[in-house]
Amino acid sequence: MVNYPLLLKEIEKEIQPLFSKGKVANYIPALSKVDPKQFSMTIQLFDGTSYGVGNQNKAFSIQSISKVFTFTLALKHYGKELYQRVNHEPSGNPFNSLVQLEYENGIPRNPFINAGAIVTTDSLTSIHKDSTFEHILNFIKKTSNDESIVYDNEIFHSEMANGYRNMALINMIKSFNNIHNPIDDVIKTYFKQCSIMMNTQQLAQSMLFLANHGINPLTNEVIITESQAKRINSLMLTCGHYDASGDFAYKVGLPGKSGVGGGIVAVVPQKMAICVYSPQLNSQGNSLIGTKALELFTTKTGLSIF
C-alpha cells in the first residue's frame, strides 16, 4: 500500500527547483495575474478518500480541461456520428494552430485542440441553444459532486476581448460549414466554459467516472458507456497535451488533460483520478511543474497504464 501523504510531500519537495523555469499564460491578460509560485495536488480514490498537498481549495481557471466535459457530453449524445465533424488523431501542432484546419477542410484533428473543442461546443449548441453553457456547468457540477462551481466573469471577458485566434478558427471552420450555429453564441459558450473555476479536489473527483468505466464510483451513476469511457481516455492519452502529448505519455504514462490555467487532470484506470495545479507553463502551454509532479508520481508508485 502506497503511503500517499509521504509520497505527496516528496513530490512537493522535488519540484521546488523548477519554480523559476516556466511562464504563466499571458495571452489572456486576466490569467497573467495569478501567483506563479503555486502548487497543489489531489489524489482521489473510489471510496471517497483523498490525499493532497498544497492549497487544494484554491480555485483556478480550468481552461482546456473543460474540453473533456464537452466532448463527453457530445459523444454521449451523438455517438460515432460526432467523428464526421471532429477527428480523433493527434494534431502534432499547438492547441490554437490554424494551418491544418484549412487543408483538412475544416475538420479539426481532435476534440482537445481549440478547433475541435469549438466544433464540439457547437454540436452541443444545436441541442441546448441558449442554455448550452448552463448545461455544461451542470454536468461539471454533477461529475464533481459539487453544486458550488462557477465561472469567472473577468477571465471570460478578458478572453472575449483578446481571442483573435479563436475567432479566426471559428470563422475558418464556419467557412467549411462545420459550425451550425451563430459564431458569437458558440464562441461565448466556449470562452465561458474555459473560465470555469475549480480546485484540484473538485477536478480530481470530476474525473473519477473516466477511471471507472464511465460510472461515478461515489454515486454509482452511469455517466457514459464503458466503450465511450475507453475512447475518451484514449484521446486524453494521445491528444490531451497537444503537441506535447507524446512527451506526456512518455514521461507520465497516463491519460491526461491540461489547461493553460495551469491544471492537469490524469486518470489511473480502475484506481483513482489525480489533479495537479501549478500555473507556470512549458512552451507547449502545459503546466511544467504539473507534468513533472505526475511523472514523479508514476515513477515512484509504478501506477501507470504501461
Q: 61, 67, 192, 304: which is the annotated catalytic residue?
A: 67
Interhelix angle for 132-143 vs 114-128, to 10°?
Answer: 110
Smaller CB distance to ligand GLN: residue 52 or 259? 259
Task: Provide, rounded to whole angstroms, the least separation between the CB of residue 46 and ligand GLN.
Answer: 28
Q: 40, 50, 61, 64: which is the annotated catalytic residue?
A: 64
Smaller CB distance to ligand GLN: residue 96 or 205? 96
Phi, psi (rounded to 5 degrees) for 126? -65, -25
Smaller CB distance to ligand GLN: residue 28 or 252? 28
Residue bearing cell 458569437: 184
* Catalytic residue flag (residue 206): no
Smaller CB distance to ligand GLN: residue 14 or 89? 89
DSSP state of 297: H
List, as one string, the DSSP characters of 70-113: HHHHHHHHHGGGGGGTS--S---S-TT--HHHHHTTT--S-TTS
* Catalytic residue flag (residue 292): no
Q: And the C-alpha cell for 226?
A: 464503458
Chain residues that interact with ligand GLN, rule: CB under 6 A: 63-64, 95-96, 114, 159, 166, 194, 259-260, 285
- Can you give the C-alpha Rg of the chain in angstroms? 18
* Catalytic residue flag (residue 260): yes
Task: Provide, rounded to whole angstroms, the least separation between the CB of residue 117 and ligand GLN.
Answer: 8
Task: Provide, rounded to whole angstroms, the least separation between the CB of residue 207 and ligand GLN.
Answer: 16
What residues have CB less than 8 Å from 166, skipping those under 6 apart? 96, 114, 118, 159, 187, 190, 191
Q: 4, 151, 190, 277: which is the annotated catalytic residue?
A: 190
Task: Provide, rounded to whole angstroms, the least separation between the CB of residue 127 and ligand GLN.
Answer: 22
Q: 186, 260, 267, 276: which is the annotated catalytic residue?
A: 260
In Å, how far are 65, 123, 280 from 129, measured between CA atoms?
A: 22, 10, 36
Helices (H), 129-163: 132-143, 153-162
Task: Provide, rounded to whole angstroms, the least separation between the CB of residue 29 and ligand GLN.
Answer: 13
Smaller CB distance to ligand GLN: residue 166 or 304? 166
Catalytic residues: 64, 67, 190, 242, 260
